[in-house]
Amino acid sequence: MRRHRNVKIVATLGPASETYETIKALHEAGADVFRLNMSHGTHDSIREKHEIIRKLEADLDSPIAILADLQGPKLRVGEFANGEEELVEGASFRMDLDDKLGTVDRVNLPHPEIFQALESGAALLVNDGKIRLKVKSCGPDFADTEVITGGTISDRKGVNVPDVVLPLAALTDKDREDLEFACSLGVDWLALSFVQRPRDVIEASALVRDRAAIMVKIEKPAAVTDFDAILEEVDGIMVARGDLGVELPVQNVPPLQKRMVRKCRAAAKPVIVATQMLESMIESPMPTRAEVSDVATAIYEGADAIMLSAESAAGDYPVEAVTTMDNVAREVESDPTYREVIEASRRAERMSVADGIVAAAREIAETTDIKVICCFTQSGTTALLTARERPRVPIIGMTNMRDTARRLALTWGVNCVMTPQLTRFKMAVVNAAKAARNLGYAEENDQIVVTAGVPFNVPGTTNILRVAPCEESLIYSSDPE
């Protein structure tokens, strides 16, 4: 399905979007990737949504990516005798391992790992940071704190510990079960929560065993500190601004977002900007002006994808939310300033023959009357490198690997077309010309750029670039000699 924009849209599925009709409407409105949130729903309900997406993919003959998002450790306080208490600024409050019901003076925090890592002066944030506590003294089973920002604390509210690296693995027992289940289904991307260090990714990679591409959600200050090392280990990044904005000062998040997007682009790895993008559309058919500006900013920065969470999963207007994102993206990308920003942030990467080929393809396309760049790719790397260049002309990813086509649905500007397995470059050119014509990117008298690797069907061998006329798809009706 041809899109009239380059940035991709990720839509989370949930109670508001679990039928074939609604998921189809979301895809037709602009959703390129569907996110399955493993924090909610049973394995049976996740399987049903997966089957619907694959049926829709077959019906529309359009590669669709599925992203399974693992829950990660959830740190929560225990329960209160009265259900809730009001904490007053300046008051003392204790958290401990005692499983008695909480009072206005203390509550159970059933996570000994937190007490092991805490230090005097560290912050404890409760209920998405609405309550802020400062540790005065602590031990292996308690933390005495001062209430810095008061408010209502109630049963099972979440706790964030931004100032220390916690001795917790990113994968819980539930995550390990969910990971195996998602991989057995055949999801294309697996998102990891609560990552603090590269070894969290390495552990998950050993379990995934190349059955899915791995994405890390950047939501912990420790992950920001170790971002470069984490980026080397993953296939993609999600800037999870919700948790990041809780654990860091909110004013730090926009510049961090910008830097992470640029680093991902330089590494030719897809990056999603997520959380609270059109949150008002959970209940309203129209977004706020600030939300539209936020979506536009992520697009101007060059993000590969922008994501809807509750807006499409549980909101009253899921299709309208996707349509709004699509409209904003198309408007932004038609703005001359967009090209100025994108091209000013381009970094020259000349480390391999493939880097040189894709850079040359972009330069030729932009200095001559070329309509589209067609790149043949086995593993997806050539398409990723081409997308890194952010060319002014469309990109068609040509592959005979269904898994590759699906994963590339997340990548900026790449429209994937399935091809038969080829053995000669001439037939690659013919297939590329046909795809360009069929998708409406070029006509018979137009020219296209084709990149490929010889020998064929070997990952990492991109070494050929050719400018070809689209009429070659008409010249050869069968395999040429």
**Measured in Å, how far apart are the chain's first and last C-alpha atoms?**
32
The whole-number pLDDT of residue 323 equals: 98
- Using alpha carbons, list the distances in angstroms from residue 42 to 48, 270, 362: 10, 29, 46
Q: How many CB atoms lie within 10 A of CB 162?
A: 18
Q: Which residues pair with residue 236 across a beta bridge? A: 215
Helix locations, 30-172, DSSP H: 43-60, 112-117
Report the b/e string of 323-333 with b at 16+ CB within 10 A. bbbbebbbebb
Q: Are 100 and 139 in contact (CB under 8 A)?
A: no
**In order of start, what are the domains of the chain with their CATH numbers?**
8-73+169-335 (3.20.20.60), 84-160 (2.40.33.10), 353-475 (3.40.1380.20)
Question: Which of 9-18, 346-355, 423-432, 460-469 has the least mean pLDDT?
Answer: 346-355
Helix locations, 334-380, DSSP H: 336-344, 353-367
User: Is 35 an annotated catalytic residue?
Assistant: yes
Query: Catalytic: which of 94, 106, 132, 217?
Result: 217
The whole-number pLDDT of residue 477 equals: 43
How far is residue 379's CA from residue 381's CA, in Å, rounded to a whole number? 6
Residue 403 tokens read as 């898994």
Q: How far is CA 473 from the centre of its chain?
A: 36
How many alpha carbons fall within 13 Å on the CB side of residue 346?
Answer: 19
**Angle at Cα 457 formed by Cα 265 and Cα 5, nearest 5°?**
35
Please name the residues in contact with 181: beta carbons below 8 A apart, sequence gap of 6 or more: 43, 46
Output the pTM of the full model. Answer: 0.94
State the average pLDDT over residues 303-321. Answer: 98
State the average pLDDT over residues 450-454. Answer: 90
The whole-number pLDDT of residue 350 equals: 66
Does the pLDDT value for residue 164 go beyond 50? Answer: yes
- Using alpha carbons, list the distances in angstroms from residue 198 to 160, 216, 479: 20, 10, 48
The whole-number pLDDT of residue 186 equals: 97
User: Is 411 an annotated catalytic residue?
Assistant: no
State pLDDT tens for residues 82-99: 999 999 999 999 999 999
Give 269-282 as a DSSP string: --EEEESSSSGGGG
User: Is 76 an annotated catalytic residue?
Assistant: yes
Give 140-157 as a DSSP string: TTEEEEEEEE-EEEETT-
Q: Which helix (H) or strand (E) holds 10?
A: strand 8-13
How far is residue 125's CA from residue 131's CA, in Å, rounded to a whole number? 6
Does the pLDDT value for residue 405 go beyond 80? Answer: yes
Query: Catalytic: which of 74, 76, 134, 426?
Result: 76
State the average pLDDT over residues 227-236. Answer: 98
State pLDDT tens for residues 255-292: 999 999 999 999 999 999 999 999 999 999 999 999 99
How far is residue 308's CA from residue 221's CA, in Å, rounded to a whole number? 23
State the average pLDDT over residues 244-263. Answer: 95
Does the pLDDT value for residue 472 go beyond 80? Answer: no
The whole-number pLDDT of residue 375 equals: 96
- Using alpha carbons, list the distances in angstroms from residue 56 to 26, 34, 92, 238, 432: 11, 12, 56, 25, 25
Does the pLDDT value for residue 331 go beyond 90? Answer: yes
The model's confidence at residue 455, banded by pLDDT at 50, 70 and 90, is confident
User: Is 199 an annotated catalytic residue?
Assistant: no
The whole-number pLDDT of residue 480 equals: 42
Residue 231 tokens read as 């980026």
Of 287, 295, 307, 343, the C-alpha closest to 35 is 307
The whole-number pLDDT of residue 481 equals: 38
Token pair 């925090």: residue: 109
Residue 479 tokens read as 């395999």
State the average pLDDT over residues 223-235. Answer: 97
| 43-47: long-range contacts, CB 8 A cutoff, minimum separation 24 | 43/178, 43/181, 45/18, 46/181, 46/182, 46/185, 47/185
Query: Percent of the chain beyond pLDDT 70?
Result: 98
Query: Catalytic: which of 5, 35, 49, 258?
Result: 35
How many alpha carbons fall within 13 Å on the CB side of residue 118?
Answer: 29
